């Protein structure tokens, strides 16, 4: 009874803390401007099923895709086991699913164990790749101390969780095989549900010669470690890049569905331009007080901000960015990480000082420099590479718009180009009257 009460309290605390933190993330995302991304629901659903569930964009790097698939499948399927553990923990039962699944239960646990081993293979390979292979993709200016340790924390926690799961099963297997049901019932207080597993029969040989009470404590300790570990990991997610395991789904659902080459149109500008060209034009309503483009996170849309929380810092975007490849400061991954860092800073300010507090800082200049935004070729390699359809280019464009339309600050040569377009109808300084000369001066 004490164990059950303790378990209940731990679950309640974990869920409550998680809810508080997720609500903060939702609040932060809603700091963004409104944007309708609910049209074409069927197409959105298909995109989500393909890109998030089906992981179709991961396969561009096949080795990483297979390893990631192990971890992903393990994560989704082993959650069924977590459900059983929670029921057992709350009601004091043991392996409750075995009572109504019969022979299917052995298959279930057997599959979980295979998945657990595959997850272990995946995370160990990922850990080695990050720490020993020194891939360029995992370094870079934005990969400072926290992002690096965040990545390792996740991998280590996953290793520990899977190890605990396998130890738990194999210790119990060893107990029943070596000490029998009578000894089991006297320590556990109930009969064993049976022996299960595909990997644990082999692993149980590690425990040969262990006493009944040792095996009992190993199994119980592993059980508690596993479930508390999972609840702790759940609460680590909101602070981590690993939050992508949740947001990948809504983020792909709300993907940009237009061709990549199509950039957003600005209704606020359309109103002014139409009024200039046609004095009788009645402007459509636009959000009040909003500036052109974005200086800070509140000027971006909620979708831009959701994407910042979705980014898992894999760096596929940066590794294909032509500017980054040729040594420029721009890194699309940094754009997303900066947006998230700034958004969390704004969120903390709201928590501490209330909604109207300003700290005098902004996303542009304090986080992302002008040099970065002007190095972009708008080639869409980053958006193509992102396995969860994040669009760093959209943020870069909003920062450029602010820079040009609110501050008139563009590189001098671009200002020259813009004035040529305005005065000559071409980006170069040619007379519009000469535009058709190509037809005659052959």
Partner 1 sequence: MDKFTIPTMAEMAAKGEEPEILFWVGCAGSFDERAQKITRDICKILHHVGIKYAVLGTEESCTGDPAKRAGNEFLFQMQAMTNIQILDGYNIKKIVTGCPHCFNTIKNEYPGLGGNYDVIHHSQLIQQLIDEGKLRAEGGESFKGKKITFHDPCYLGRGNGVYEAPRKALEILDAELVEMKRCKSNGLCCGAGGAQMFKEPEKGVKDINIERIDEALALEPAIIASGCPFCMTMLSDGVKNYNKEQEVKVLDIAEITARANGL
The full DSSP string for 64-118 is HHHHHHHHHHHHHHHHHHHHHHHHHHHHT-SSTTHHHHTHHHHHHHHHHHHHHHH
Task: Return the sign of the alpha-carbon dihedral for residues 196, 120, 244, 231.
Answer: positive
Of the pair 22, 410, the CB lying nearest partner 1 is at 410
Q: Which is nearer to partner 1, 87 or 416 (CB)?
A: 416
Question: Minimum CB separation from partner 1 for residue 425, in Å?
Answer: 3
Q: How far is the CB of 278 from partner 1 (least distance, A)?
A: 9
Shortest distance (Å) from residue 37 CB to partner 1: 16
Between helix 41-48 and helix 244-253 the angle, nearest 10°, is: 150
User: What is the closest distance, in whole angstroms, from the C-beta atom of residue 219 to partner 1 in the complex?
Assistant: 50
**Min dist. Cβ of residue 307 to partner 1 (A):** 18
Choose among 51, 47, 52, 37: nearest CA to 301: 37
Report the candidate in 332, 336, 314, 344 with the shortest Cα–Cα distance to residue 151: 314
51 or 162: CB nearest partner 1: 51
What is the rounded distance in angstroms from the CA atom of residue 157 to the CA atom of residue 17?
A: 19
Match 């359309």 to its residue by tokens: 270
Nearer to partner 1, 179 or 401 (CB): 401
- Residue 274 C-beta: closest distance to partner 1, Å: 7
Nearer to partner 1, 1 or 408 (CB): 408
Closest CB 329 distance from partner 1, rounded Å: 7
Nearest to 229 by CA among 158, 305, 178: 158
Report how far apart the first and last C-alpha atoms of the chain are (Å, whole number).
Answer: 95
Q: How far is the CB of 375 from partner 1 (least distance, A)?
A: 4
- Alpha-carbon gap, residue 293 to 406, rounded angstroms: 8
Our CB check for partner 1 shows the closer of 245 and 417 to be: 417
Residue 194 C-alpha from the chain's centroid = 39
The span from the CA of 400 to the CA of 413, in Å, is: 15
Q: For residues 59 and 124, which CB has a smaller minimum distance to partner 1 in the complex?
A: 59
Tell me the three-class secondary structure of 405-430, residue by residue: HHCCCCCHHHHHHHHHHHHHCCCCCC
Footprint of partner 1 (CB under 8 A)? 60, 258-263, 265-266, 269-270, 272-274, 276-277, 292-293, 320, 322-323, 325-330, 371, 374-381, 384, 397, 400-405, 410-411, 413-414, 416-418, 421-422, 425-428, 430, 432-440, 442
State in angstroms the smallest separation of the CB of 202 from partner 1. 43
359 vs 434 by CB, closer to partner 1: 434
Q: How far, in whole angstroms, is CA 424 from its chain's centroid?
A: 46
Residue 231 vs 375, nearer CB to partner 1 = 375
User: Do the beta carbons of residue 290 and residue 268 sit within 8 Å?
Assistant: yes
């Amino acid at each position: 009874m004490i164990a059950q009460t303790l378990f209940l309290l731990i679950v309640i605390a974990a869920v409550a803390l998680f809810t508080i933190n997720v609500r903060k993330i939702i609040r932060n995302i809603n700091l963004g401007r409104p944007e309708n991304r609910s049209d074409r629901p069927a197409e959105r659903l298909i995109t989500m099923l393909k890109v998030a569930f089906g992981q179709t964009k991961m396969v561009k790097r096949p080795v990483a895709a297979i390893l990631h698939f192990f971890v992903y499948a393990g994560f989704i399927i082993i959650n069924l086991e977590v459900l059983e553990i929670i029921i057992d923990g709350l009601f004091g039962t043991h392996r409750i699913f075995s009572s109504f699944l019969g022979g299917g239960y052995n298959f279930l646990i057997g599959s979980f164990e295979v998945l657990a081993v595959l997850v272990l293979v995946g995370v160990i390979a990922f850990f080695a790749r990050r720490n020993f292979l020194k891939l360029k993709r995992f370094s870079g200016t934005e990969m400072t101390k926290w992002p690096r340790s965040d990545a390792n924390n996740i991998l280590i926690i996953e290793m520990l969780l899977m190890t605990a799961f396998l130890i738990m099963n194999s210790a119990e297997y060893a107990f029943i095989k070596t000490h029998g049901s009578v000894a089991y019932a006297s320590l556990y207080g109930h009969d064993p549900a049976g022996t299960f597993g595909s990997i644990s029969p082999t692993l149980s040989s590690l425990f040969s010669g262990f006493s009944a009470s040792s095996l009992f404590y190993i199994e119980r300790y592993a059980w508690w470690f596993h479930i508390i570990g999972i609840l702790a990991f759940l609460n680590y997610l909101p602070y981590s890049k690993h939050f992508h395991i949740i947001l990948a789904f809504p983020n792909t659902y709300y993907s940009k569905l237009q061709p990549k080459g199509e950039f957003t149109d600005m209704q606020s500008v359309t109103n002014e331009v139409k009024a200039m060209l046609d004095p009788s034009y009645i402007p459509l309503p636009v959000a009040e007080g909003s500036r052109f483009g974005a200086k800070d996170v509140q000027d971006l849309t909620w979708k831009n901000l959701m994407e910042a929380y979705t980014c898992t810092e894999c760096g596929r975007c940066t590794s294909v960015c032509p500017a980054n490849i040729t040594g420029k400061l721009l890194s699309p991954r940094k754009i997303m990480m900066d947006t998230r860092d700034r958004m969390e800073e704004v969120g903390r300010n709201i928590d501490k000082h209330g909604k109207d507090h300003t700290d005098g800082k902004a996303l542009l200049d304090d986080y992302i420099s002008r040099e970065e935004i002007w190095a972009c070729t708008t080639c869409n390699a980053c958006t193509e590479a992102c396995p969860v359809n994040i669009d760093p280019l959209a943020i870069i464009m909003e920062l450029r718009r602010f820079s040009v339309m609110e501050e008139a600050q563009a590189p001098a040569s671009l200002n020259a180009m813009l004035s040529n377009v305005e005065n000559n109808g071409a980006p170069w300084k040619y007379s519009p009257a000469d535009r058709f000369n190509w037809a005659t001066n052959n």
